[in-house]
A and B are shown apart, each in its own frame.
Chain A
Amino acid sequence: MDEGLRTVCRRMAMVAGMTLSVAALSIALMLAVTLVHLRREDPLNMPELAALRAAYTLQQGDEALREKIRMLDLMGRRAFFASRQQLNDGAWVLAAILCGALLMFLVAERLQENQPDIRRLSLGGEGWSRWYLGRRGLWLAGSVLLFAALGIHVAYRPPVEIPDPEPAAKGTASTGSSQAQVPQGLVWAGFRGPRGSAMAEVKSAPLEWDGVKGRGILWKTSVPLPGFSSPIVWGNRVFVTGGTAQKRAVFALDATSGALVWTADTAGGAGPGVVIPSTTEDTGLAASTPVTDGKRVYAIFATGELLCVDMDGKPVWNTFLGTPENHYGHSSSLLVDGGLLYVQMDDAVRPRLLALDAATGRTRWEKRRQAISWASPILIEMEAKSMVVLCDSAGVEAYDAQNGTSLWRMDCLGGEVAPSAAFSQGMLVVAGDNAKACGLKLGSEAPVPAWEWTDGLPDAASPLAFRDRVLMATAQGTVILLDLHKGERVWQQELTRVCYASPVLAAGRIYLVDLDGMTRVLEAGDVYRELAVCPLGEMVGATPAFTEGRMYLRGIRHLFCVGE
């Protein structure tokens, strides 16, 4: 090739290579800008759009708002797909241009005179130099590693260990969390108090009050939404639930003043599919008592909505378990223990017991059950094993609290069962007004039936087992005290008063609240003795909650705090 032509060609190739390089650089910059833009703007998740959508859920059918949402959504999607296409195409163009530039440089190099191949710019180490320099480099490498190791050794702090599980606080449904440092006497965590035993761990309880005259009433607050669920207490907070077709919510009240601190409702989290089931007047949509473990409050409604909020009322999770097919309305209460939330969902179509992860709401296990029922689960610890005991239409069944394995079941009931089980001194008492009451002796094996009782049975209120006695408030308005182990009658008293509230033992006395709001305080002895009879002036369907020196009574309209 002619020398001049060769030079011209080489220069042209160099210039072309340079131009292509510059082009590649600018395209790369452009792509980088697009990428950063796409990352920062995130056109598919614009906060404005989310805000508009939230606004729209409150103003359904607002046409201007709807158009605005559609417009913004379309813009966002267009921007997203356009910039993605741009990135995709740009990468290909960039690759092609880079290849071209490389080719041009190769050509230019080949056209250079006397350059058969590329040459290293500097000369290699002469003679022995690399011999000792290589050794020096290797020593250097070794010392770098050793010094690094020394540095790490000095600076290293071993990671903290996972703490060993604390022994579960006896007698409360608490999970032993660090935030839950509340004295035992100030906790009434769920339906019928500690583990559903209906035995308050308090030293004192109010004896005399009058809700009509306001005597002995510390405060009285109107609950914004109706509900037959019972109040629960954790430290300085009292929680109640209420629900109508429009709104189902948890209310937190200040225990000192009764002031409403926060409200958390199911709206927004409920999602599609929630329908309002028909319920009877004395059940309503909020008959299930909420529960708390000191970290979160859990509440379920007859709609099948299950809500979990933290102690400040901020939603943690919520889920929809499907609308329960229940001709009275779902009314079984929740139980929480050891990080699991137990939910009885015994409806007519798919009766089941669920254990949800308390922190996340995800189902840990689910057990199919027999038929519809209204009883609430209680927690029993036998020989270091926790079991969830739950009555159903045919009997009572115990489940391993950890994995839901059925430990045993006893077919001793029948019909519609609402009272929950009671437990004391190794004896389990179950009752239903269509069948009988049963005393079951629990051991390491299957339970042994000890006695039966058919002469007066409860329909709504659960039996109260304490020491070696069991007390039942029957559907006919009679109160009966039985020997826990033999099932023999100790005394019986005709009151002609119907109780929906379950009797509770507090400070060695029995508290029995009837539908008219009249509370009888009875001596927990083998003779019937009324210590006091206190009116409230309001209908009561909820079981009272007890903390040290106080009693919380929910009437049809108000929540009363009774105390000195």
Chain B
Amino acid sequence: MKRYLVILLVIAGLAAVGLAGDPPARFPRPDFESGYAPPATQCPAPRPGILLWVDVGVLAGSMGLASWLVLKRRSRGGLIGLLLFCLAYFGFYRKGCVCPVGSLQNMALALSDLGYAVPWAVVALFVLPLVFALFCGRVFCAAVCPLGAIQDVVIRRPVLVPAWLAGLLSFLPVYLLGSSVLLAAGGAGFMICAHDPFVGFFRLGASVPMLVAGGLMLAAGVWVARPYCRFFCAYGVILGWLSRLSARHARITPDSCVACRLCERACPFDCIRAPTPVADPEERGVTRRRFRWMIAALPMIVAAGVWFGLVLAPLLAGQHPVVRLANRLAREERGMVSGLTLESEAFRMSGQSLAEVKVHADAMREWFRRGAMIFGGFLGLVFALRMIGLSRVRSRTEYTIDTAACFSCGRCFSCCPVDKAWREGRNTSELKV
């Protein structure tokens, strides 16, 4: 109800501005005696909307090809070729926009804002990689995403991120997913797009901080493979969840694992799980007790998350332009600051009253308070579920892929002796140790 009120207020405000808009025609248009007719104003048309469907087609085709290359052909070379093509097409030709990663925010905004309609092609951009992840794993990350591609080509001397640090950092994208969805849905802007470190390279120019951040990220990427994908990408979190359910997923070996240990160091992203030792690391009872404790603690952790969201709410709300304006105006009105910012000046020109801004800002603050509670609860839930997952002892006898984290890049294929035998058409069962 409140949201409708806000929308109505905004519309009323817009109408008021619209009425006040055009400056008066001070000089009437002359009657030309020479028969002169002024030219028409030229307005070049935008890129035809149909071309967005070409992008969707290229995306679907590339992902189909990537799935085939990963699952059937098991060809790293082919993936490199596709990756370079997609880097050129989606990155340098299409300037990185609109991409599935960013479309997450369009969807969030469309779900909360009644007035905002997402074009169908953008919906398709958002859904297609997820559908592919459900059936074939993260083939979008493997070779299609330009952000992943530009990082993939600079991987030179990958190091292992210590397991505790990886555990710590891998929670960051969950936080970014929640906050960027909340901010986009609240109309506070598209944070993923605003802080995209690589898009400046595709456009051959960006703000200096953005270029520096991108440069640093790429430089770090020489050692820490694909840092953005692993520790920042919000869309990757969803892809990871769905990839866990995938019907078919990239496998290290085309047949059964011979536990030769050759693939142990093949993955720059540390997605290969080695077989566990025969003996359990601790007594069964300890594990079981911890598992029960974690389940019991789940509501508490979610509650802690909600509190976290409540604390964060004003900061998140402060990202919204109207709240920011209201904060500024309040300080101006109380004489705590001197002068006007461009925003407050524009407001004072617009003819809206302070009371209107106050009502709008208060409604937005309330919206963000509720949203931030959900966001915090979500963070707590993910945290608790991850913790529960890590509480159970799971023994493995083979080298297996962590399907949630794996980008299906195909680097492990070539180090598997079974793969070699399969490729040469030999009988792979001979290799059994």
Contact = CB atoms under 8 A, between A and B. Distances in A.
Contact of B159 (A120, A158, A164, A366): A120
Interface residues of A, number: 65
A123 B264 contact: yes
B311 A142 contact: no
Interface string A116-142: 111111111111111111111111111
A163 interface: yes
Contact of B168 (A140, A146, A362, A403): A140
A35 B330 contact: no
Nearest to B19: A365
Interface stretch (B134-142, B236-244, B332-340): B332-340
B414 interface: yes
A55 interface: no
A547 B175 CA distance: 64
Interface string B248-276: 00000000000000001111101011101
Contact of A363 (B23, B357, B383): B23
B259 to A, nearest CB: 14
Nearest to A140: B168
A134 B166 contact: yes
Given A102-B154, A162-B330, A87 B205 contact: yes
B377 to A, nearest CB: 13
A145 B175 CA distance: 10
Interface in B152-193: 153-160, 162-172, 175
Contacts of A138: 167-168, 171, 383, 386-387, 390
Contacts of A170: none
Given A118-B268, A122-B159, A357 B76 contact: no
B156 A105 contact: yes
A95 interface: yes
B408 to A, nearest CB: 15
A161 interface: yes
B167 A136 contact: yes
B195 interface: no
Contacts of A118: 155-158, 268, 411
A152 to B, nearest CB: 5
A127 B277 contact: yes
A70 B348 CA distance: 38
Interface string B390-432: 1101000000000000000001001100000000000000000
Interface string B290-317: 0000000000010010011001101100
B81 interface: no
Nearest to B410: A117
A30 interface: no
Given A91-B204, A92-B204, A120-B267, A137 B163 contact: yes
B334 A124 contact: no
Contact of B166 (A35, A137, A163): A137
Interface string A281-324: 00000000000000000000000000000000000000011100
A366 B24 contact: yes
B355 interface: yes
Given A102-B153, A117-B414, A159-B330, A357 B349 contact: yes
A91 B357 CA distance: 44
B233 interface: no
Interface residues of B, number: 81
B167 A134 contact: yes
B414 A124 contact: no
A161 B276 contact: no
A313 to B, nearest CB: 18
A403 B168 CA distance: 58
Contacts of B23: 363
A162 B354 contact: yes
B20 interface: yes
B326 interface: yes
B114 interface: no
Contacts of A164: 355
Given A124-B264, A133-B167, A134-B167, A160 B336 contact: yes
A128 B20 CA distance: 70
B112 interface: no
Contacts of A363: 20, 23-24
A425 interface: no
Nearest to A156: B314
A149 B311 CA distance: 6
Given A120-B158, A128-B277, A159 B415 contact: no
Nearest to B336: A160
Contacts of A161: 330, 358
B281 interface: yes
Contact of B334 (A134, A144, A160, A360): A160
Nearest to A362: B349
A364 B155 CA distance: 59
Nearest to B412: A117
A117 B266 contact: yes
A324 to B, nearest CB: 12
A149 B309 CA distance: 9
A216 B314 CA distance: 63
Given A158-B314, A162-B354, A363-B20, A122 B160 contact: yes
Contacts of A140: 164, 167-168
A142 B304 CA distance: 10
A160 B276 contact: no
A135 B23 CA distance: 64
B26 interface: yes
B160 A135 contact: no
Contact of A120 (B24, B164, B268, B315): B268
Contact of A160 (B204, B314, B330): B330
Interface string B7-36: 000000000100110011011000000000
Contact of A156 (B153, B155, B311): B311
B263 to A, nearest CB: 10
Contacts of A149: 307-308, 311-312
Interface in A144-181: 144-146, 149, 152-153, 156, 158-165, 178
A522 B100 CA distance: 84
Interface string B346-389: 00110100110110010000000000000000010001001100
Contacts of A35: 208
A124 B171 CA distance: 20
Contacts of B390: 131, 134-135, 138
B294 to A, nearest CB: 10
Contacts of A366: 24
Contacts of A135: 167, 387, 390-391
A359 interface: yes
A183 interface: no
Nearest to A121: B159
Given A159-B314, A161-B330, A125 B163 contact: yes
B415 A359 contact: no
A220 B163 CA distance: 88
Given A117-B76, A117-B415, A363-B20, A136 B164 contact: yes
Interface in A27-82: 32, 35
Contacts of B333: 162-163
Nearest to B80: A106
A273 interface: yes
Given A145-B379, A149-B311, A165 B355 contact: yes
A129 B312 CA distance: 34
A132 B281 contact: yes
Contacts of B157: 118, 121
A365 B327 CA distance: 28
B329 interface: yes
10 contacts: A87-B205, A131-B281, A137-B167, A138-B386, A141-B169, A156-B314, A162-B326, A321-B26, A357-B349, A359-B345
Given A32-B208, A127-B277, A133-B167, 7 more contacts: A121-B159, A124-B264, A136-B167, A138-B383, A162-B358, A162-B361, A178-B335
Q: Please provide the 6 A-B residue pairs with the shortest distance between their CB atoms, ordered closest to farther.
A: A137-B167, A133-B163, A141-B171, A91-B204, A137-B164, A130-B163
